[in-house]
Chains A and B, each alone.
Chain A
Amino acid sequence: MYENPDGVMIGLEVHVQLNKLKTKVFCGCSTDYHNDPPNSHVCPVCLGLPGSLPVINRKAVEAAIKIGLALNCKVEEHTQFYRKNYYYPDLPKGFQITQYDFPISSGGYIMIEGEDGEHRVGITRAHMEEDPGRLVHEGTIDKSKYTLIDYNRSGMALIEIVSDPDMRSPKEARRYLDKLRNILEYLDIFDGDLEGALRVDANISIMGGQRAEIKNISSHKGAERALLFEIVRQKNVLRRGGVVVQETRHFDEAREITLSMRSKEEAHDYRYFPEPDLVPLKISGWAPAIKEMLPELPDARRMRFVEQYGIMDDHAKALTSERKVAIFYEEVAKIADPKISAVWICDVLKGELNYRDLTIEAFRKEDMLSVIELLMSKKITEDGAVDIIRTLLDKGGSPEEIVKEKGLLKVEGDIVSTAAEEAIKENPVAVSDFKAGKEKALNSLVGSVMKKTKGRADARAAREILLGKLG
């Protein structure tokens, strides 16, 4: 049982950009703007020109319902859009179309790996809104002489997922974000690698204080850092006899600190009211069909992998924690031995990718199959296989070429046998130690054999041969 000594309560508001939709949420502009010049994907509607009117993108509503269902939420009967009124240069209409009462879905949960095992985090609501434009400052925000506005992003569909304050540590917050992103990727509704795809605001309080809302968090790691800083700050305030007040704070990513933006007294009055230009939408009828089409989600896939492939739960979890890895694994396991595939993908390939900050796309499944095939036919050693994987990632080529170039083909048994005999002759101390009962002395003999065979011997086989000759 996790004690949570400081009474930490964390709730997250995650903005997910539906960047896999073809068009924006209220107009026909293309969402594929990331490599195009500023203000090249705009029209009267997303520029908020006088007289323009929004029309809801039904695919965006479908995606929002998908998300609601995947987060175990209840999809509402009716949904309604509201105006959130505030002035900001990136907001071309002077209000944001969002939701208030009657969000698309509410009252769900997801399971994460918590401080003390499986932990449930409630989902308050998941609602739809439009993205504002993007401000580009010349230099830094406080010293900038001018600011440019790019409205390409304006009107992109966003889903805001609000969690209950159920996370008890920054680590849990990070795991929640990882899990959420994973689920969203399974739904195939957004590309998390695109700029601005997932943005986080965090609410955090500790026992004896009010909550602070932290804005401007742009990564999972950033969220963890910001929350860690914030716990220390709030504890220090309380320790000095101060009061932790309700306020909005800004995360300075470079300095890894949070700075006060405005207090509760200065909070905006957004003057929400129903958007007259969008009629209420009856969506209760949409949910069943969407539920039918919902893809297999990470938790279900993890259970299936254990059952279908007989692999360990830890491996299944690691394989399913990224949708692309899970797909990669299933393609490999269709041809190669599923258990061995799981071991090599989880324990070796993922680590090597991580070390190089690469994604699974950097490795071809054909190469994985070749490496496993070489291993299974005992043509290479395990060390050789690792070497091939590293070389493929660093220099490219094909496994067969690498084997040839590096001379990684496993040596024949009689060569190992000869090397073992030599090793016994050359290391009388180790031999007598072993015979005196020191099992570890065998390791230095194995090492000697490996040295003589330039690593091409199979270490396990060398050990067996040595034992035979010493026995």
Chain B
Amino acid sequence: MASINELIERIHADSSEEIVTEYLEKIEKSKLNAFITVAKESALLRAKEIDSQGHDGPLAGIPIAIKDNISTKGIATTCASKILTGYIPPYDAHVIEKLKEAGAIIIGKANMDEFAMGSSTETSFYGPTLNPWDTTRVPGGSSGGSAAAVAGGEAPLSLGSDTGGSVRCPASFCGVVGLKPTYGVISRYGLISYANSLEQIGPFATSVRDVATLFDVISGHDPRDSTSVDRETNYSSALINDVKGLKIGVPEEYFAEGTDKNVEKSVRDAINTLEELGATSVEVKMPHTKYALSAYYVIAMSEASSNLARFDGMRYGLRTEDSDWHTTFSQVRAAGFGDEVKRRILLGTYALSAGYHDKYYLKALKIRTLIKQDFERAFRDADVLIAPTMPYPAFKLGEKIDDPISLYLADVDTVPINLAGVPSISLPCGFSGGLPIGMQVIGKHFDEAAILRTAFAFEENTDFHTRQPEGS
């Protein structure tokens, strides 16, 4: 699979148009259903423009897939929901502006769980995305289309969003690299909110280096997002193949019962590999981890119940037959939202209601503070933490979709990171029965440099990331 550097060389030798055409053909032939919308015409047009006029951006002429909850001017943005049928944003998200400035070409909008609610990409109104390693299995979610597109060779790069693991989970299941940055590092302007206090846009690629390059392009301050931070950064320069003296914290709570034996072994082997390279490891205690999942779902659903109130059919998207506004609102929402979205809106509404607000929402916020303190304590003894991304490799399509609780439980190792707002990168660290296993390297707030460096050193000294699914 081609890296950014290889693609740039090819673009210089041949043309961007040729590269884009190849990817478009790949997408057309694919059975993965990684895309909701393929932006064929605009992508080719832009490729020709770059070929003829030249462009000196770091991603000049390189195609990229964008999760379909990131607003793209002139390209339908559906959130994989029926309710946004026909909605074409009149503006670009901040990250899209950045990508365009860098010369990247938006090749299409990637499939996802409806409104990013899910861990399997099975709740999409446009049907599930298949895992390129085994098409009977899920690609993970909610950014399943973005991860599958990169793993399946349908795009060299992609963007996802991570509210409770939605970048790292599919990265792990599809055997690619995915980063969830520190809260505030990438502007959320244009990202259609699921749970605003938890989520970040994140890059996918087949290597840590490409993830860092893409991250450099899309990060940075944006005055249109009040939670965006203003920091000078150059993440690519953090990629040093040296972990001597690095202190790795190993939170035992992340290897709890229910974790697949092969997953546990691969992650522990990976820690050994890093130790052989000069790092040391220490066990850290994160005693509130067991409450994270409940707190996460209460907060995420509460915010979602409010964020999704705007979809009422009055201004854009699905519109049912007109009646009085009460009736039309209800009909639009009944017809437009899928079951999982409705479930989360109802639960979130309940959690915020008078009489329950303190019992659920406020309590969840308190747990969030305790989780943050767990991380602060752990980072007194460690530079980075390493844990499994997911407790198991990709599961079968249909296996969990009718059992929401078991599906929610899959997020047990990813959600604490979002509650704390710290960065985490998932990268391949092993295989089990032909399916990739991912580990996550978690860092202190704004210390993406440490996790990128750790991940880079691991990658440089192993070959898990070079393996590819058949036919990709």
A residues less than 8 Å from B315 (CB atoms): 47-49, 92
With the chains together, A62 CA to B87 CA distance in Å? Answer: 37
Residues of B in contact (CB 8 Å), total 45
State which residues 312-333 of B face A: CB under 8 Å: 312, 314-316, 325, 329
State which residues 185-209 of B face A: CB under 8 Å: 188-193, 195-197
B223 within 8 A of A: yes
Interface flags, B279-313, vs A, CB<8A=1, else 0? 00000000000000000000000110110111110
A93 within 8 A of B: yes
Q: Are A50's CB and B87's CB within 8 A?
A: yes
B461 within 8 A of A: no
Q: How far is the CB of A104 from chain B (nearest CB, A)?
A: 17
Q: How far is the CB of B187 from chain A (nearest CB, A)?
A: 9
Across the interface, A149 reaches (CB within 8 A) one of B91, B196, B314, B352, namely B314
With the chains together, A50 CA to B77 CA distance in Å? Answer: 9
Binds A, one of B5-13, B268-276, B353-361: B353-361
With the chains together, A94 CA to B197 CA distance in Å? Answer: 18
B226 within 8 A of A: yes
Interface SS of chain B: loop
Q: Specify the chain B residue showing the minimal Cβ separation from A81.
A: B226
Q: Are A51's CB and B93's CB within 8 A?
A: yes
Q: Are B227's CB and A279's CB within 8 A?
A: yes
A residues less than 8 Å from B316 (CB atoms): 49
With the chains together, A54 CA to B310 CA distance in Å? Answer: 15
| A85-B306, A273-B352 known; A49-B90 Cβ under 8 A | yes
B residues less than 8 Å from A278 (CB atoms): 226
B residues less than 8 Å from A51 (CB atoms): 69-71, 77, 89, 93, 188-193
B84 within 8 A of A: yes
A9 within 8 A of B: no
A44 within 8 A of B: yes
A residues less than 8 Å from B414 (CB atoms): none
With the chains together, A89 CA to B224 CA distance in Å? Answer: 25
With the chains together, A149 CA to B302 CA distance in Å? Answer: 28
Q: Are B192's CB and A50's CB within 8 A?
A: yes
B22 within 8 A of A: no
With the chains together, A52 CA to B316 CA distance in Å? Answer: 14
Q: Are B77's CB and A55's CB within 8 A?
A: no
Q: Specify the chain A residue showing the minimal Cβ separation from B71.
A: A51
B residues less than 8 Å from A89 (CB atoms): 312, 314, 325
State which residues 49-70 of B face A: CB under 8 Å: 69-70
Across the interface, B89 reaches (CB within 8 A) one of A49, A53, A55, namely A49
B463 within 8 A of A: no
Across the interface, B309 reaches (CB within 8 A) one of A47, A95, A273, namely A95
Q: Are B306's CB and A94's CB within 8 A?
A: yes
A residues less than 8 Å from B227 (CB atoms): 276-277, 279
With the chains together, A373 CA to B305 CA distance in Å? Answer: 70
A87 within 8 A of B: yes
A residues less than 8 Å from B223 (CB atoms): 55
B394 within 8 A of A: no
Q: Are A94's CB and B89's CB within 8 A?
A: no
Q: How far is the CB of A137 from chain B (nearest CB, A)?
A: 12
Across the interface, B226 reaches (CB within 8 A) one of A48, A94, A277, namely A277
B79 within 8 A of A: yes
B349 within 8 A of A: yes
A297 within 8 A of B: no
B25 within 8 A of A: no
Interface flags, A404-429, vs B, CB<8A=1, else 0? 00000000000000000000000000
Across the interface, B224 reaches (CB within 8 A) one of A53, A94, A147, namely A53
A361 within 8 A of B: no
Q: Specify the chain B residue showing the minimal Cβ separation from A85.
A: B306
Q: Specify the chain B residue showing the minimal Cβ separation from A279.
A: B226
With the chains together, A50 CA to B308 CA distance in Å? Answer: 9
A179 within 8 A of B: no
With the chains together, A95 CA to B69 CA distance in Å? Answer: 21
Q: How far is the CB of B224 from chain A (nearest CB, A)?
A: 6
Interface residues of B (CB under 8 A from A): 69-71, 77, 79, 84, 87, 89-91, 93, 188-193, 195-197, 223-227, 302-303, 305-306, 308-312, 314-316, 325, 329, 349, 352-354, 357, 361
Q: Offer 13 A-B interface pairs, CB within 8 angstroms, sorted by A.
A: A44-B91, A49-B71, A50-B71, A50-B87, A51-B69, A52-B91, A55-B224, A55-B225, A271-B353, A273-B302, A273-B357, A276-B303, A278-B226
Closest 8 CB pairs of A and B: A94-B309, A276-B197, A271-B352, A276-B196, A50-B192, A51-B190, A51-B71, A51-B192
Interface residues of A (CB under 8 A from B): 44, 47-56, 83, 85, 87, 89, 92-95, 147, 149, 269, 271, 273, 276-279
* Extra 15 A-B pairs, beta carbons < 8 Å, given A44-B89, A94-B306: A49-B71, A49-B315, A50-B71, A52-B190, A53-B224, A85-B305, A87-B312, A89-B325, A93-B309, A269-B354, A271-B352, A273-B303, A273-B357, A277-B225, A278-B226
